[in-house]
Amino acid sequence: MEPKENGKEPGRVIEGPTNPMVTPLLNDLYQFTMAYAYWKAGKQNERSVFDLYFRKNPFGGEYTVFAGLEECVKFLANFKLTHQEIDYVRDSLPGSEEAFCDYLRGLDCSDVEVYAIPEGTVVFPKVPLMRVEGPVGVVQLLETPFLNLVNFASLVATNAARHRFVAGKSKSLLEFGARRAQGPDGAISASKYCYLGGFDATSNVAAGKLFGIPLRGTHSHAFVSSFMSTDEIVDKVLQSADGETTCDDFISLVQTWLTKIQYSPSLSGFFSETNQSELAAFISYALAFPKAFLALVDTYDVMKSGIPNFCAVALALNDLGYKALGIRLDSGDLAYLSTEARNFFCAVERELKVPGFGKMIVTASNDLNEETIDALNKQGHEVDAFGIGTYLVTCYAQAALGCVFKLVEINNQPRIKLSEDVTKVSIPCKKRSYRLYGKEGYPLVDIMTGENEPPPKVGERLLCRHPFNESKRAYVVPQRVEELLKCYWRGSAGEAREELPPLKEIRDRCIKQLENMRPDHMRRLNPTPYKVYYSLLQKCLKAHVLVFKKKIFVYVFSVIAG
């Protein structure tokens, strides 16, 4: 076997994290103070197991989309402190010995193993998203970077999935959040994970280049208001789509169609005279992008100016073999305006005998979120695509997911974190996780077992218990069993591991996962909680009442030796 360097196998070199600021120094100081204390006590090489998980689903829902795994693996594969970074760490730890710097110089992730649920999977509280095994000195230094890479990624992917759910499968969703995101990385990450969560495209050019996400975008109100009249348009020539003919005066062709619209019996009632500066802007944009003409029509007046001006330009393009894409609405009563615009397009199709004109795309933007899209659905609308920014990329409805990274085993001895708050009690020992499916194909429960317990079997009845409430238990007979944790990093062990799929495959997985969930788990309001249980097949855990305070019983688990 060929040698490996820093956990990278020949032919399988993994590039570094997308953001070059993701280095071992993207860490909390206490990770390095602990690393030094471990080293000082001679414990740095003790074998540890940490679980990364979250305690509560976000946005008042009952599911979460796991994201960020790829960036974690990239971080692992390239984990190495530079000389300058080591010098800075030494200076930040007054009194630390020079020999600790030698330890840091030799530090990498070649002895670390990471088992994770595949990225894009629908996941639930308490179930480990990642299980990280390795020398405690180095694994402790992975905590903050991993939480940083997973928390926001999973939160924004879940936010995107929720917007997709309320919008429906047939609508296009466009991420327009770069200008409102929390800094450059917030914008790039949001674009990536919104796409993963089910969005169709982004306006963020950098994200499009980095991740291959389709780009969408036309022009703003500034472009429209920058024109005064058609006299500013110097080049009026437009070649036909097939290249066989040339229109020498596209402006005159547009004006001809505008006159036809004005004198059409069923269309003239909408307006009397349109804004000519807006018309000039639309003509100019069409001359620049005849194959992708989509106009923002609400700079002045949507129905009295924007729509008829758009239609005149679109009809002129149609004469030359081009097909305009549609319009964007960025203000006003979106339900009413989209419906009126659709009626106008259909009237143009009927009156002027232009097949397919009534199917122009209507895109809506203007600080949209889950609630506004839901309200539009209830009112009735003709919007085909939603451009969503601020509320999507900033996860305005919830600031953070709250993933944690807890020690559950060291030197084969289980460890537990106790708390009077039962939600903060960790579940000890190295675990395996399974998803059990019912006869209808929906997931029934997720179940965690001890590492050495036999896995659940199809068709065999299994006793499942709630990890913190002894009265909650159920027998389940699974029709399909899926093991959730798969190995994505095995350091220098030389054994097989899962490959990192392309973003498009992760997105497809996410969409399929969401479609396969039971509808009552997915609904926006009062969703049915999804069950997460712990197996007691070999009585590896035993419930004890440990704390009685403020009239609250707290149930935790201690491992029975042997």
The two structure tokens encoding residue 142: 């992975």
User: For residues 106 and 100, what is the distance between their CA atoms, to the nearest angstrom?
Assistant: 10
Tell me the CATH class for 218-383: alpha beta
Percentage of the chain exceeding pLDDT 90: 82
Question: Mind listing the pLDDT tens digit for each residue in 24-70?
Answer: 999 999 999 999 999 999 999 999 999 999 999 999 999 999 999 99
Q: Could you check whether 29-159+398-559 and 218-383 share the same CATH topology?
A: no
Q: Give me the residue spans of the domains in the chain.
A: 29-159+398-559, 218-383
User: For residues 557 and 165, what is the distance between their CA atoms, to the nearest angstrom?
Assistant: 38
Question: Mind listing the pLDDT tens digit for each residue in 122-132?
Answer: 999 999 999 99
Say yes or no to pLDDT of 560 above 60: no
Beta strands per DSSP E along 207-319: 238-239, 246-247, 294-296
Helical residues (DSSP H) of 106-142, grouped into ranges: 136-139
pLDDT score of 496: 77
Say yes or no to pLDDT of 3 above 50: no
554: left (phi > 0), else alpha (psi -120 to 50), else beta?
A: beta
Say yes or no to pLDDT of 11 above 70: no
540 and 450 Cβ atoms separated by less than 8 Å: yes
Q: Name which residue leads in pLDDT, 470 or 259.
A: 259
User: For residues 393 and 202, what is the distance between their CA atoms, to the nearest angstrom?
Assistant: 11
Write the DSSP symbol of residue 17.
P
Q: Tell me the average pLDDT across 191-212.
A: 98
Beta strands per DSSP E along 96-136: 113-116, 122-123, 130-135
pTM: 0.92
Question: Mind listing the pLDDT tens digit for each residue in 141-153?
Answer: 999 999 999 999 9
User: For residues 535 and 541, what is the distance between their CA atoms, to the nearest angstrom?
Assistant: 9
Say yes or no to pLDDT of 457 above 60: yes
User: For residues 92 and 83, what is the distance between their CA atoms, to the nearest angstrom?
Assistant: 14
In this structure, the strands spanning 462-465 and 531-535 are antiparallel
Sign of the alpha-carbon torsion through 71, 77, 82, 87: positive
Write phi, then psi, for 278 (nearest 5 degrees): -65, -45
27 and 35 Cβ atoms separated by less than 8 Å: no
pLDDT score of 538: 37
Is 340 buried (19+), middle (13-18) or exposed (0-12) by CB count in 10 A? middle
User: For residues 120 and 160, what is the distance between their CA atoms, to the nearest angstrom?
Assistant: 12
108 and 80 Cβ atoms separated by less than 8 Å: yes
pLDDT score of 493: 59
CATH code that applies to domain 29-159+398-559? 3.20.140.10
H or E element at residue 355: none
User: For residues 324 and 326, what is the distance between their CA atoms, to the nearest angstrom?
Assistant: 6
Say yes or no to pLDDT of 556 above 50: no
Q: Tell me the pLDDT band of 209, cut-offs 50, 70 and 90.
A: very high
Partner residues linked to 474 by β-bridges:
464
Say yes or no to pLDDT of 163 above 50: yes
Question: Mind listing the pLDDT tens digit for each residue in 381-398?
Answer: 999 999 999 999 999 999
User: For residues 466 and 330, what is the distance between their CA atoms, to the nearest angstrom?
Assistant: 48
Q: Tell me the pLDDT band of 494, cut-offs 50, 70 and 90.
A: low
467 and 86 Cβ atoms separated by less than 8 Å: no
Q: Tell me the pLDDT band of 252, cut-offs 50, 70 and 90.
A: very high
Question: Mind listing the pLDDT tens digit for each residue in 171-191?
Answer: 999 999 999 999 999 999 999
CA atoms lying within 13 Å on the CB side of residue 276: 10
Least confident range from 96-105, 370-379, 423-432, 446-455: namely 423-432
User: For residues 128 and 403, what is the distance between their CA atoms, to the nearest angstrom?
Assistant: 10
Q: Tell me the pLDDT band of 89, cut-offs 50, 70 and 90.
A: very high
Question: Mind listing the pLDDT tens digit for each residue in 504-549?
Answer: 999 999 999 999 999 999 999 999 999 999 875 334 444 333 333 3
Write the DSSP symbol of residue 326.
E
Q: Tell me the pLDDT band of 420, cut-offs 50, 70 and 90.
A: low
The two structure tokens encoding residue 6: 């820093």
pLDDT score of 12: 60
pLDDT score of 542: 46
